[in-house]
Structures are given as structure tokens and as C-alpha cells.
Amino acid sequence: MTLLPLLFYASLTALVIIIYALLNLRTPRSTRLPPGPTPWPVIGNLPHLGRIPHHALAAMAVKYGPLMHLRLGVVDVVVAASASVAEQFLKVHDANFASRPPNSGAKHIAYDYQDLVFAPYGPKWRMLRKICSVHLFSNKALDDFRHVREEEVAILARALAGAGGRSGRRSAVVLGQLLNVCTTNALARVMLGKRVLGDGSGGGDSKADEFKDMVVELMVLAGEFNIGDFIPALDWLDLQSVTKKMKKLHLRFDSFLNTILEDHKNGGDVTSDNVDLLSTLISLKDDADGEGGKLSDIEIKALLLNLFTAGTDTSSSTVEWAMAELIRHPQLLKQAQEEMDTVIGQDRLVSELDLSRLTFLEAIVKETFRLHPSTPLSLPRIASESCEVDGYYIPKGSTLLVNVWAIARDPKMWTDPLEFRPTRFLPGGEKSNANVKGNDFEIIPFGAGRRICAGMSLGLRMVQLLTATLVHAFDWELANGLDPEKLNMEEAYGLTLQRAAPLMVHPSPRLAPHLYKSG
């Protein structure tokens, strides 16, 4: 009789063990989180992100693999750091990751998610995307305003010639600031029908300086890992003063945009022959466009904010990086100039129609996008539902970050990944067929999938035209006789990849003198 309880408990134990084993056979692959560093209490892995998060995350991926899980406060975050993992998220599971997670930047700067970049995936987002695609970024729209970009780049060339000086003056040029003026005015003429900044040639354009500072501050603040976003209970404390800075910056941008909007409504000094985007947007206020409903003033300002920031700083910073690399590699600069002298000659400036024939220049631009992607960490996305990627469980509500910077430097995908080698994209090169348009996941500077950068086509044209003109029209020296090999190539982290030290240069005109004169 005494054996019966023992047998019962032994049988029960065996049954529990069998059930546990069966459950483990069924569930581990579907509930196992990706690997990652052990989180700290309360704050999670926030301290692991360091001063430059895309660097820190790239180093972690070496240890934990190309798919990592982090706990930032109370938020699950998954990080993709290889082309194959990025493709799983942005192609296979693209629909599940089509929206953005809640964040203070969208709330306090981007008019509480009323913009294109941070709007939830749905009818409103599709309406805003359609408006931009049809009226600003279609091939027809880009061709209609090609002359605007070429005119603004010619104004830049004149400003550089005046600053660099045939007269022997050797005042240094802050290249990034002049590039930002050029990209801003080119976009403003398309959006508003007029320029909004001077050409910067005077060296003390306070309005241009202020606008550049506002854009850079926005990108820095938007790139902050704000503790309040990840630990909502602490949001009200604003421990990093990020929310306070965002609200203050929003008021500056809102004042800038209100002035533009009111001036346009009152028939301001529009100079474009084409119908500008803002006129189109105002006309849509009382005319529902598609399934998204009517446009409000706030949505118009939010869209203008997106375009003025994402459409200017990304292009100008990419060109600044390209020129820094070419100055460091004078043999590549010379090779590019020889190609342009052959294709274009020295009696005219580059046209956008020339770009398709400048094979080496295109390779230079691709290599710049690879080593210096304007957005090193993709804008975050959020998982609408739980899913499985590479055998790991991705919980519903997880934030997705794609480390675009790390993917483009993956030694498994790239030979000598840290070297600036445009030849890899030339015919016969290891990546001769690769492009940056979201199809080749080893180089996705504009992202991929549904939320790929809406302005990719415009960005590509502007970066190529600017880089081609600077290479073709000038020879370059660094300020203060600095040795190119000692040029500071460190990065300053923000939402966009800025140089830690602005590029200070002396441009010397190399084409026919009349090309640098207004006329």
C-alpha cells in the first residue's frame, strides 16, 4: 500500500517532464528573443548605446550577431545589422513594420504626427505620400524643375569662385554651409516658387546660418535616445531637457513656416514659372485628395517641415562627405575631373542630362552613400503584430532599428569595407550591379520597403549634380595648409550623419572664367 503514493508521484513527475519537454519542442523557436547584452535594472540597455549609437550597435553585433534584442527602458528594440536580416524586416515583414513607434520628436516637433515621416501607416500617410509623389518627386515634376537645380548650383559655383578668389584672396570656405544654402534654395523654389536664403557668398549670411543651425539642431534632437520615450513614467521629468529643447525649436520652425504660409496666401513674390508645391497644397485644403481627407494648415506646415529638413541637410552633408573623401584621395579627384573634361569639356557647367554618362562620378556617389549614409540608423519602425525572424521571436510593439551604417561596412559583404573605393561599383567591380534604391540590402541609405525615403529620386539628382559640379569646376585645398591625410573624418551623431568638424576649404576655379560670372 505504501508503494502506491510513490508510484503516483513518480508517474506524475514523469508526466510533467514529458509535457515540459513537448512544450519546449514546440515553443522555444517561436518565443526565443534574439541575443543581446544583459539590460540594467529600469533603464535597460540605454547605457550601452554610448555617444554614437550606430557605432556602439555595430560593435555589439560583432559579439551578439546581426539580429539583436535590446531592452531600452520598458521598450523591446530589435536591431538589424546585416543585409539578410534587414531584408527579412523590410521586405518579407514590411507590412508589419510600416508604422512608427511613439516618440517625442514626432510629438513636439513634427506637429504631433501630422507629417509624412512620422504619420501612422494608413489613409492620411498615403494621401501625403501621394501628394509628394505626384507633385514633387515624379519624373515629370523633377524634369520640370531641373532648370531650378542647375541655376542654384551655378549660383553656388559663383559664390565659391568669389570666396576662393581669382584675385589671390585666400579666405577659407565653410563648404557645408554653402551647400546647405544651395539645397535649401533649390527646394524652396520648387516648394514655394522663390528663394528663402541669400547665396552665402558674403561669408556672414545670418539668415542662412540660423536656418542651418535650426536644421542641425532638429537632426541632433531627433536622433537623441530620449529617456522619456523608453520609460514613460519619467517623461514628465524631462531628465535630459530634450522635450524642452524640442518645444523651443518647434516654435522657431513654426514661426518660419507661418511666415511662408501667410506670405504665399497673400500672393508673395513668387518667381517660378511653374506651379509650386505650396500653391498646390493650399488648393487641396478644400478638395479631398484620395482617401485621406482634406489638408489642414498644420498638415501643410508639417509636410513643409519634413521637406525643408530631410530634403536639405541630408543632401548637403552627403556632398560634404564626398568632397572630404576626394580631397583625401587626390588621385580619385583627378580621375573624376578627367572623366568630366572628356564628357563635358571646360566651357560649360555640368547639366543633369550629363549625369548618366559620368560613370566614375556615379561610383563616387555610391561609395559616399555606402561609407557615409545620411541616416546611419534608419528611422524607427514598430511591429504591429508579433512575428518570427531568423527563428527568433519578435514581440508585438517592438521598435525596429536598421543599422544602415554597419550593414554597408560588413566585411562579409564588402572587400576592404573601411576603404573609400569607388571602383567597386564600376563595371567588373565586386558590386557593379548594386544600386542605392532599396533593392540591394547591403547598401540602403534611403531605406527600403513602404517607408523608403519619399524624396530619394530628388536626393540622388541633387547629390550627383552638386558633387559633379564641385569636382568639375574647382580644384581643392584644405584651409591652413592642412595635409589631406590628417583631415578629421570623425562623425557627430544626430538623425543625420554630420561631420564632427566642418570641411574648411580653398576652391580654385578650373574652367573658363565666364562660367563663374552672373549673367
Residue range 361-406, pLDDT digits in tens: 999 999 999 999 999 999 999 999 999 999 999 999 999 999 999 9
Give me Rg for the CA atoms of the chain: 26
Q: How confident is the model at residue 29 (pLDDT cuts 50, 70, 90)?
A: very low
Q: What is the mean pLDDT of the chain?
A: 88
Q: Which three cell numbers stand for residue 243?
A: 522635450
**Cβ-Cβ contacts under 8 Å for 239 (sequence gap 6 or more):** 227, 228
Helices (H), 266-398: 277-284, 297-310, 313-328, 330-343, 359-371
Q: DSSP secondary-structure letter at 403?
A: B
Report the range of poorest mean pLDDT among 87-91, 178-182, 268-272, 512-516: 268-272
The ranges assigned to domains in the chain are 104-377+415-516
Which pLDDT value is given to residue 287?
Answer: 62
> What's the CATH superfamily of 104-377+415-516?
Cytochrome P450 (1.10.630.10)
Higher confidence at residue 518 or residue 9?
518
**CA-to-CA distance for 330 and 397, rounded, in angstroms?**
49
Is the pLDDT reported for residue 203 higher than 70? no
Residue range 238-256, pLDDT digits in tens: 999 999 999 999 999 999 8
Residue range 98-146, pLDDT digits in tens: 999 999 999 999 999 999 999 999 999 999 999 899 988 999 999 999 9
Which pLDDT value is given to residue 384?
Answer: 97
**CA-to-CA distance for 412 and 196, rounded, in angstroms?**
46
Is the pLDDT reported for residue 82 higher than 70? yes
Q: Which residues pair with 173 in a beta bridge?
A: 505
pLDDT over 70, % of the chain: 88
Q: Are strands 399-402 and 75-80 parallel, antiparallel or unpaired?
A: parallel
Q: Are 59 and 81 in contact (CB under 8 A)?
A: no
Q: DSSP secondary-structure letter at 44?
A: B
Which pLDDT value is given to residue 195?
Answer: 86
Q: Which amino acid is at 453?
A: C
Is the pLDDT reported for residue 432 higher than 50? yes
Residue 420: enclosing H or E segment and its boundaries? none
Which pLDDT value is given to residue 200?
Answer: 55
Region 209-225: mean pLDDT is 83
Q: How confident is the model at residue 517 (pLDDT cuts 50, 70, 90)?
A: confident
